[in-house]
Structure 1
Amino acid sequence: MAATAQDSEQSPKGGLAYKWKVLISVIFGIFMVILDTTVVNVAFRTVQQDLGATINEAQWILSIYVLMLGISTPISGYMADRFGLKRTYVIGLSIFVLGSFLCGVAPSIEALVVARAIQGLGGGLSTPLGTAFIYGAFPPNERGKALGVFGIAMVLGPALGPILGGLLVDNDLWRWIFFINVPIGVLGVSLAIRWLKPTQPTGKPKLDVLGLITSTVGFGSVLYAATIAAEQGWESGSVTMWFIIGGISLVLFGLIELFVAKEPLLDLRLFKKPTFTMANLVGWVSVLALFGAEFLLPLYLQVLRGRTALETGFILLPLAIAAGFATPTAGRLYDKIGPRPLIVTGYAILILNTWQLSKLQADTSIGWIMFLLALRGLALGMTVQTTFVTALSDVELPKVPRGSALINATRQVIQSIGVAVLATILASTTSVATKEFQEDSQARAAENAQAGVATAAFGLCETPGVDPAKNLPAGMEQAPAAVQDQVRSSIQLACAEQVAGFEKTYHFTFYVAIIALVLGLFLPGWPLKWVGRGGTAGAAAAASH
Structure 2
Amino acid sequence: MSTQSPAAPGSDKLDAGVLKVAVVVILGAIMAILDTTVVNVALQKLTIEFQTSFDTIQWIATGYMLALATVIPVTGWASDRFGTKRLYMTAIGLFLIGSMLAGMAWDVESLIIFRVLQGFGGGMLMPAGMTILTRAAGPHRIGRVMGVLGVPMLLGPIGGPILGGWLVDAVSWRWIFYINVPIGLITMALAWRVLPKDRPEPSERFDFVGMLMVSPGLAALIFGVSNIPSAGGVGAVEVWLPALAGIGLLVAFVFRANRVTNPLLDLKLFKNGSFSIAMVTMTFFCVAFFGAMLLLPTYFVLARGESAMNAGLLLAPQGFGAMLTMPIAGRFADKIGARKIVLPGLVLMLAGLIAFTQLSATTPYWLLLSALFVMGLGMGATMMPITSAALQTLKSEDMAKASTATNIVQQTAGAIGAAVLSIILAALLAGKFGVPTAQGQLAATAAVMNPATHEAASGLTADAFSTTFLWSMILLALCLIPAAFLPKTKPATPEGADGEVPAAPPVMTH
Q: Secondary structure at the match of 2:38?
A: helix
Cα deviation for residue 23 of structure 1 reads 5.6
Distance 1:343 1:298, change over 3 A: same
Match of 1:251 in 2: 251
Is the contact made by 1:128 and 1:405 (CA closer than 8 Å) also made in structure 2?
no
Verify: 1:536 aligned to 2:495, yes or no: yes
- Indicate the larger mover: 418-427 or 434-443: 434-443
Is the contact made by 1:151 and 1:324 (CA closer than 8 Å) also made in structure 2?
no
Is the contact made by 1:149 and 1:327 (CA closer than 8 Å) also made in structure 2?
no
Cα deviation for residue 72 of structure 1 reads 2.6
Match of 2:478 in 1: 515
Match of 1:415 in 2: 414
Please tell me the residue identity of whatever aligns with 2:161: P
Distance 1:376 1:541, change over 3 A: closer
Cα deviation for residue 381 of structure 1 reads 0.9
Please tell me the residue identity of whatever aligns with 1:309: A
Distance 1:399 1:189, change over 3 A: farther
Please tell me the residue identity of whatever aligns with 1:280: M
Q: Secondary structure at the match of 1:329?
A: helix
Match of 1:367 in 2: 366
Partners of 2:237 and 2:253 lie apart in 1 by 24
Is the contact made by 2:29 and 2:125 (CA closer than 8 Å) also made in structure 1?
yes
Partners of 1:9 and 1:59 lie apart in 2 by 50
C-alpha RMSD of the superposition: 4.1
Please tell me the residue identity of whatever aligns with 2:305: G
Is the contact made by 1:152 and 1:328 (CA closer than 8 Å) also made in structure 2?
no
Q: Secondary structure at the match of 1:295?
A: helix
Partners of 2:368 and 2:149 lie apart in 1 by 27
Cα deviation for residue 32 of structure 1 reads 1.2
Q: Secondary structure at the match of 2:292?
A: helix
Is the contact made by 1:81 and 1:202 (CA closer than 8 Å) also made in structure 2?
yes
Please tell me the residue identity of whatever aligns with 2:485: F
Distance 1:171 1:497, change over 3 A: closer
Output aligned runs, 1:122-133, within 5 Å: 122-131=121-130
Distance 1:234 1:125, change over 3 A: farther
Is the contact made by 1:221 and 1:246 (CA closer than 8 Å) also made in structure 2?
yes
Cα deviation for residue 214 of structure 1 reads 1.3
Please tell me the residue identity of whatever aligns with 1:283: M
Output aligned runs, 1:360-439, within 5 Å: 360-397=359-396, 399-426=398-425, 429=428, 432=431, 434-436=433-435
Q: Secondary structure at the match of 1:256?
A: helix
Cα deviation for residue 429 of structure 1 reads 4.9
Is the contact made by 1:70 and 1:219 (CA closer than 8 Å) also made in structure 2?
no
Please tell me the residue identity of whatever aligns with 1:206: R
Is the contact made by 2:231 and 2:239 (CA closer than 8 Å) also made in structure 1?
yes
Q: Which runs of 5+ in 1 are unaligned?
A: 1-6, 446-456, 461-472, 477-483
Cα deviation for residue 106 of structure 1 reads 6.1
Partners of 1:29 and 1:322 lie apart in 2 by 25
Partners of 1:234 and 1:22 lie apart in 2 by 53
Cα deviation for residue 272 of structure 1 reads 2.0
Distance 1:167 1:209, change over 3 A: closer
Partners of 1:22 and 1:230 lie apart in 2 by 49
Q: Secondary structure at the match of 1:535?
A: coil
Distance 1:274 1:39, change over 3 A: same
Please tell me the residue identity of whatever aligns with 2:164: G
Is the contact made by 1:32 and 1:181 (CA closer than 8 Å) also made in structure 2?
yes
Partners of 2:79 and 2:130 lie apart in 1 by 13
Please tell me the residue identity of whatever aligns with 1:357: F
Distance 1:149 1:163, change over 3 A: same
Match of 2:279 in 1: 280
Identical amino acids, percent of aligned pairs: 32
Cα deviation for residue 340 of structure 1 reads 2.4
Partners of 1:141 and 1:13 lie apart in 2 by 6
Distance 1:59 1:287, change over 3 A: closer
Partners of 1:247 and 1:500 lie apart in 2 by 34
Partners of 1:292 and 1:388 lie apart in 2 by 19
Partners of 2:162 and 2:322 lie apart in 1 by 17
Output aligned runs, 1:329-368, within 5 Å: 329-368=328-367
Q: Secondary structure at the match of 2:350?
A: helix
Match of 1:312 in 2: 311
Q: How many residues align?
A: 493
Match of 1:451 in 2: none
Partners of 2:114 and 2:217 lie apart in 1 by 23
Mark the structure with the bigger radius of gyration: 1
Distance 1:159 1:250, change over 3 A: farther
Verify: 1:88 aligned to 2:47, yes or no: no
Partners of 2:361 and 2:442 lie apart in 1 by 24
- Indicate the larger mover: 370-379 or 420-429: 420-429
- Indicate the larger mover: 40-49 or 290-299: 40-49
Match of 1:169 in 2: 168
Output aligned runs, 1:9-28, within 5 Å: 16=15, 25-28=24-27
Please tell me the residue identity of whatever aligns with 2:402: G
Match of 2:505 in 1: none
Partners of 1:44 and 1:518 lie apart in 2 by 33
Cα deviation for residue 378 of structure 1 reads 0.7
Output aligned runs, 1:73-152, within 5 Å: 73-104=72-103, 115-131=114-130, 147=146, 150-152=149-151
Please tell me the residue identity of whatever aligns with 1:510: M
Cα deviation for residue 143 of structure 1 reads 6.2
Please tell me the residue identity of whatever aligns with 1:282: T
Match of 1:219 in 2: 218
